[in-house]
Amino acid sequence: MNVERAAGALLILLPLAFNASFFLLARRFDYPDILRSPTEDILRRFQAGGASLKLLWYGFMLTAVLLAPLAVLLGQVLARDDLAVVPTATVVGVLAAVVQFLGLARWPFLVPHLARTYADPASSQATREATAVAFESFHRYLGIGIGECLGYLFTGAWTMLVGVAMVQSSAFEAWLAWPGIIIGLFLVAGSVEFVGRFEEQGWKLAGAIVPITYIAWSLWLVLSGLVLLVT
């Protein structure tokens, strides 16, 4: 398999795996709506989900990892036209994979312990309160700060940079490049959902934009993959 076909396959595989995992988590765990629930409800429902729910979160986490090889392989395809923007795009794409992985890794590795502790009948009220504080702290830091803010920022920046490279690339047409640039801009805008004066409650407009943008991003990746595979 050459680089174009490997990149094309990953461009299709990543959004399919991401959306399949997201759909299953929505069915099993009411994700992401459950994140607006009280911490007690989240931890007890997570504990009730058992090993299969942990495996779902593990799989969802791995979809973030797929972005790293995709950024490298797609960078190799675009680099054949000696474009100056490609090295930066590749680095940003790998960073996007890293921060999204770090944001999601708390679910299969940290939250199980917190959920067990919270649901344990032997745990005191003080222990449960401390567990809730730990969950909420990591949720704000790893989930909102690392996974969402930096994740959206780097993913959006990578998408824009790839779009800019596509404009000049012999492997893609300009009609495919411009949607990528626009989608990337919306993802970057979504990264400030909990920044500044929106820190406590979140910017509702950004919260509404991000899910729609990720659907568009997924379709754009799949279409880009098909272009590579059929040319």
Per-residue pLDDT tens over the stretch 153-182 = 999 999 999 999 999 998 898 899 999 999
How many residues would you count in the chain?
Answer: 231
Tell me the HSE value of 229 on the side-chain side, using a 13 A CA sphere: 14
| Across 195-214, average pLDDT | 82
Confidence band (pLDDT; 50, 70, 90) for 1?
A: low
Judged against a pLDDT cut of 60, whether residue 64 lies above it is answered with: yes
3-state secondary structure of 72: helix
3-state secondary structure of 8: helix
Per-residue pLDDT tens over the stretch 73-99 = 999 999 998 889 999 999 999 999 999
* Dist CA 90 CA 230 (whole Å): 23
Tell which residue, 65, 200, 184, has the closest CA to residue 144: 200
Query: How much of the chain, in percent, has pLDDT values that exceed 70?
Result: 100
Find the DSSP H helices in 30-140: 39-65, 67-79, 86-104, 106-109, 111-119, 125-138
